[in-house]
Amino acid sequence: MTSTASPAEPTSPHVMSTYGRLPIALSHGQGCEVWDTQGRVYLDALGGIAVNTLGHNHPRLVPALQDQLTRLIHTSNYYHVPLQETLAQMLVERSGMQNVFFCSTGLEANEAAIKLARKFGHDKGIERPEIVVYEKAFHGRSLATLSATANPKVQAGFGPLVEGFIRVPANSLQALEAATANNPNVVAVFLEAIQGEGGINAMHLDYLRAVRALCDARDWLLMIDEVQCGMGRTGKWFAHQWAGITPDVMPLAKGLGSGVPVGAVVAGARAAAVFQPGNHGSTFGGNPLAMRAGVETIRIMEEDGLLENAARVGAYLKAALQEALASELANGSVKEVRGLGLMLGIELAKPCAALVGQALQAGLLISVTADTVVRLVPSLILTQAQADRIVALLVPLIRKLLAE
């Protein structure tokens, strides 16, 4: 692979080619390091795209999952699943919300949230409910969630889109008020506290508080997609907690199971009783293996102080990147180093997808999103020494790309 190769390799003819894949296969990992099948080691600053909360081969998660495998992997939601009750209680206690529906992925959690908002509207007599969504949003790739997503590349070829969404720019209360003025069909505002795929774009804390107040005044649900920014990544359990607010609906997935597929929709008082028996379901949702992964993830995060670690090492990494890229930030070739905790973005003034392959060659796993933003979403166990190594590997590549 040349140093400018883009991350697109054909895969086996038997696997549908929905991904452009980098030319390696990973065989095993330990902590924040992974090895490929040729024995090369990589520092993992991607964490399975914000999924591997506890890194790889965690010494307490793996035995717990092994124990669970010998008990039960899956039953069905025909029966009580005590581990669901345990994980639901943990999420309710940490979010200040009321109850939880379990599924397996982020899009499923968001799909459920959209259904819940529509039913919330129907229960109030609104026949054609509409949901406010955002420019640069990403909520998934099912038909409803890709319709809520802003990226035209995600939508192309899949029309007709699902109707009932109103799109507004981030961080403008005025735009939100104007887009919803005199519209009795609005039922919810749906946003990411920090947009991930859209380029690590934070909603301002004042804006979040103002949207909360508007939702209260208008009897709309505030639905905050914490699939990528939640589960401790920013240094609080959920990114919206920095604003001191509580949403009515909160979809979760990614980091919740440290790599085992777990999705959840957490509901506050106004949303907790909208779904009634028969309204929604998922065969795999809440299965014992997934629930054990969620319970142990949260337990280990707390035992090991991983929220504090995410905040501390994330702030250190951000400052180190800003320092190393100071002259590029001054001359505008790097626009910004932004984000919170271990959810960081480095926005360049030019497209930088080629950095993904170049970093791979240098022994570093990263991603580029929104064309110009290097995204760092490592495991929450990242050490300061590993943060230094990310800077040492990445900054020369950024400088070289900017010089080309």
Ligand X SMILES: Cc1ncc(COP(=O)(O)O)c(C=O)c1O
Q: Output the smallest distance, CB 239 to ligand X, in A.
A: 10
Interface segment toward ligand X; rule CB under 6 A; list 95-103, 105-113, 163-171, 205-213: 105-113
Q: Applying CB under 6 A, which of residues 22, 253, 311, 354 lies at the interface with ligand X?
A: 253
Q: Output the smallest distance, CB 233 to ligand X, in A.
A: 11
Q: Output the smallest distance, CB 285 to ligand X, in A.
A: 13
Pick 120 or 138: Cβ nearer ligand X: 138
Interface segment toward ligand X; rule CB under 6 A; list 83-91, 179-187, 192-200, 350-358: 192-200
Partnered with residue 166 across adjacent β-strands are: 132
Q: Applying CB under 6 A, which of residues 44, 111, 130, 192 lies at the interface with ligand X?
A: 192
In whole angstroms, what is the distance from residue 321 CA to residue 311 CA? 15
Q: Output the smallest distance, CB 369 to ligand X, in A.
A: 9
| H-run or E-run covering 173 | helix 173-180
Interface segment toward ligand X; rule CB under 6 A; list 133-141, 161-169, 295-303, 309-317: 133-141
Q: Output the smallest distance, CB 26 to ligand X, in A.
A: 19
Query: Whose CB is nearest to ligand X?
Result: 106
Range list of H helices, 51-140? 61-71, 82-95, 106-123
Query: Does residue 24 bind ligand X (CB under 6 A)?
Result: no
| Number of helices followed by number of strands (H, E) in the chain | 13, 17
Pick 293 or 393: Cβ nearer ligand X: 293
Buried b / exposed e along 230-266 (16+ C-beta atoms within 10 A): bbbbbbbbbbbbbbebbbbbbbbbbbbbbbbbbbbbb
Q: Output the smallest distance, CB 138 to ligand X, in A.
A: 5
In whole angstroms, what is the distance from residue 335 CA to residue 234 CA? 21
In whole angstroms, what is the distance from residue 197 CA to residue 254 CA? 13
Query: Does residue 259 bind ligand X (CB under 6 A)?
Result: no
Both structure tokens of 5: 């190769």
Q: Applying CB under 6 A, which of residues 52, 53, 95, 105 lies at the interface with ligand X?
A: 105
Interface segment toward ligand X; rule CB under 6 A; list 201-209, 223-231, 298-306, 345-353: 223-231
Residues contacting residue 160 through CB under 8 Å, at least 6 positions apart: none
Q: Applying CB under 6 A, which of residues 43, 215, 227, 390 lies at the interface with ligand X?
A: 227
Judge whether 115 counts as a catalytic residue. Answer: no
Q: Applying CB under 6 A, which of residues 119, 139, 338, 375 lies at the interface with ligand X?
A: 139
Query: Does residue 228 bind ligand X (CB under 6 A)?
Result: yes
Catalytic residue among 44, 101, 225, 318: 225
Query: Does residue 110 bind ligand X (CB under 6 A)?
Result: yes
Rounded to the nearest 5°, which phi and psi values hold at 342? -100, 45
Judge whether 44 counts as a catalytic residue. Answer: no
CA-to-CA separations, 336 to 40, 313, 324, 342, in angstroms, rounded: 32, 19, 12, 16
Task: Return the HEC string of 254-283.
Answer: HHHHECECCEEEEECCCCCCCCCCCCCCCC
Judge whether 225 counts as a catalytic residue. Answer: yes
Q: Count of alpha carbons within 13 Å of 232, Cβ hemisphere only?
A: 31
Catalytic residue among 254, 275, 284, 318: 254
Query: Does residue 102 bind ligand X (CB under 6 A)?
Result: no
In whole angstroms, what is the distance from residue 5 CA to residue 277 CA? 51
Contact track, ligand X, 329-348, x by CB under 6 A? --------------------
Asked if residue 247 has a cis previous peptide bond (ω within 30° of 0), the answer is no
Partnered with residue 267 across adjacent β-strands are: 99, 249
Which residues are the active-site residues? 138, 225, 254
Interface with ligand X by CB under 6 A: which residues? Answer: 105-107, 110, 138-140, 192, 196-197, 225, 227-228, 253
